[in-house]
Structure 1
């Protein structure tokens, strides 16, 4: 199935959709470092980025009407700064708000489905009206704003026409807030997904169920001890059990129905050698970055828990999200390769640029595994919709022959 990618960044969402069975024809991204990452991996022969036409520049400057009909999926993560807790939170008043541009691409290409991803901050109460506007704008991409019309007035018109809309192109939009750790990503990364299916499709889709849990990790660490045994961690270096009665409940209920354990930083990076300033001959981007400091509120990610959400701020992230905290309390920066593993990028995938620019790409990325989980479900339901349509067509033909 054919797809295009908007705001591709370093490629996390595009890699995930490719693993799910989509073939990405065009990717659009304005950041030069990110585009160089995509092109460099193409030159290196990485199979997940072959065949992509990388457009470096504004998504609004692409002639989307030149793409052949029949695109199955539009995917992308519009810039999060207008809605991020670390930004100014200006939403529609921020020039970086690209949701209108996303809706315009959907209007032009008329894909069978779309996957739009953004930060949890989008769901904040301060953005409630604009969050509703985004969903309705994506649901009815042909109901474009009029000249001089504010987004609030456009929202009122969309709301009024939502139940009796005259647009030919409509999408059923399912918004979902998820924690990437619940899907096997070694990172507590909350993200909003807006997944839409064209209204003429019988997709019957719901967001994939979580496969991993914190309770399973607590059980493996503090009830069975299997986690520590597997990693050969001495008793004196183990995390203290959490206070309260939760462990007693887990002991009584057992391991049944807890799913897989949340993956930790140790799970993700333990097979890598200790980083050096000379780097590694075996692992790409695995170079020690000096200068990490710890202070109150800036303590890094503990090695035996999922990482804090990597952020694009690099050195200036407020909680030390780009640092590793060992069991003895010492800290260091994650190497780019370690951060890539926390974002579930394949080891053969190189992030282009110096440490700061590579970490910025990773901090903006969708975890590849989470993207694959969502896109695989969308791909499956599009295939099932095709099957239902074919079966209905055959039944209609059979009935026609019977009555002839």
Structure 2
């Protein structure tokens, strides 16, 4: 029997990633989650797990040093700092815990790190943010890589892109390969939930199955700030409407025999859970709370099949079950060359100095625009030197545990609306 590996999971939510990692061979030492109903969901399904309820960055909730040497530190940290639909505040968003989690690797020293987030983190807006994360991990002795995953490639009937970071020590990362997509095409929404839609005798269920002939757009859990449950922004609702689904809410039950054949039904939360990757066979799960809370838990989750695929790849690497690759440990990947140049320098640099240090020179206007872009996530010191302005890279604005960081006060103020 394969060795049981141990995981600490932060921002565990309702357990999508938890269940996938469990099926991949990881046993939970601890799960930390802010939402009380999601914590109840975890306890409902896994009574033996240790579940800590509260702010993961609060030292009174858990002590990272108690889990030093854990096999895997994992989490789905909040996505609003990076989401395309939001303001993309990145390091200055008080909900950002990505950099904080990476910093915990100095204390926990996990054999592997797994963090997932929205596609927005993969975009040009966050090249320097990603570079800072990779540099920090490299300084700690880890090799890291990012990959954009599409949930539908792993059997999930949904267009759900997720950006994933995996890091390990070089001697184990040499055995890591990203999981290959499934060769099986996922079922359409109609095929997947037809039995649930027909459960109350709706005569239009068969015709609806034929109309709902695509996989779903991204399920959006929404936030406490914006009220009740629906199936997302205008574009998503339009995509649902084409499949005969009313996206303006979640139904309490499937339509009954008195409902017209041409009716556009709303989905129930069990239907949404199945679309998110939970099912009655491999990924069976129960949820605690009222309808809106349950929908939010489901919509904010990492699909269990995707988590299992990535977790299995990590387990294989930690068990040295694959053929090792030769790693060039001294070479750090460069996502943002301008940030990289400024980080290596201890002196102030003008745009001509920066341009000369780049692999491919940039004109003054482009460089100045890029520096202004960097100011969103980093302190940039600047001063006049004769007729030119010179720059030096300052501190990363992200919260990494600083006592005086504005995150502390802002978090307490926003707590009732954070989800």
Bin for the TM-score computed over the shorter chain = 0.5 to 0.7
Query: Is 1:331 matched up with 2:330?
Result: no
Contact 1:323 1:332 in 2 (8 A): no
Separation (CA, whole Å) in 2 of partners of 1:24 and 1:302 = 41
Query: Hey, what's the Cα distance between the residues in 2 that align with 1:207 and 1:387?
Result: 13
Kept after mapping to 1: 8 A contact 2:220/2:231 = no
Q: Deviations over 1:120-156 (max 9, x none)?
A: 011122222222223333x24xxxxxxxxxxxxxxxx
> What displacement does 1:67 show?
2.4
Change (3 A) 1:326 1:315: closer
Question: What residue is the counterpart of 2:305 in the other structure?
Answer: 369
The TM-score normalised by the length of structure 1 is 0.65
What is the alpha-carbon distance in structure 1 between the residues aligned to residue 100 and residue 162 of structure 2? 20
User: Conserved in 2, the CA contact under 8 Å of 1:309 and 1:321?
Assistant: no
Stretch moving more, 118-127 or 64-73: 64-73
The Cα shift of 1:321 comes to 8.3
| 1:269 maps to 2:193 | yes
Query: Are residue 315 (structure 1) and residue 224 (structure 2) matched?
Result: no
2:57 is aligned with 1:60: yes
Alpha carbons 1:5, 1:26 under 8 Å: kept: yes
Does 1:38 pair with 2:42?
Answer: yes
Change over 3 Å in CA distance of 1:302–1:69 after alignment to 2: farther
Residue 3 (structure 1) aligned with residue 7 (structure 2): yes
Deviation at 1:273, TM superposition (A): 5.2
Q: Deviation of residue 202 (structure 1)?
A: 5.5
> Could you tell me which residue of structure 2 aligns to residue 99 of structure 1?
98
| SS of the residue 1:272 aligns to | helix
> The residue matched to 1:178 in structure 2 has which SS?
strand
CA distance in 2, matches of 1:387, 1:350: 39
Is 1:21 matched with 2:30?
A: no
CA contact (8 A) 1:16 1:368 kept: yes
Change (3 A) 1:52 1:210: same
1:85 paired residue number: 84
Instruction: Give the stretch that moved more between structures: 108-117 or 340-349.
Output: 340-349
In the superposition, relative to structure 1, how do residues 322 and 39 fare at CA in structure 2: closer, same or farther (>3 Å)? Answer: farther
Q: CA offset at residue 54 of structure 1? A: 0.7
Question: Segments of 4+ in structure 1 off by > 4 A?
Answer: 321-324, 327-330, 385-388
TM-score (norm 2): 0.62
Partner of 1:354: 290
Does 2:283 align with 1:345? no
Equivalent of residue 144 in structure 2, options 164, 173, 182:
173
Match of 2:161 among 176, 186, 190: 190
Q: Please give the alpha-carbon distance, in whole angstroms, between the structure 1 residues aligned to 2:17 and 2:173.
A: 25
Distance 1:128 1:329 in 2: 48
How big is the shift at 1:200? 3.8
Take 1:377 and 1:54, find their aligned partners in 2: how far apart are those partners? 25
Contact 1:64 1:105 in 2 (8 A): no
Change (3 A) 1:36 1:199: same
Q: Is the 8 A contact 2:142 2:169 kept in 1?
A: yes
Q: For 1:202 and 1:195, how far apart are their aligned partners in 2? A: 9
**Alignment gaps of 5+ in structure 1:** 42-48, 141-166, 212-258, 281-287, 289-300, 389-404
- Sort the Cα spacing of 1:272 and 1:91 in 2 relative to 1 into closer, same or farther, 3 A: same
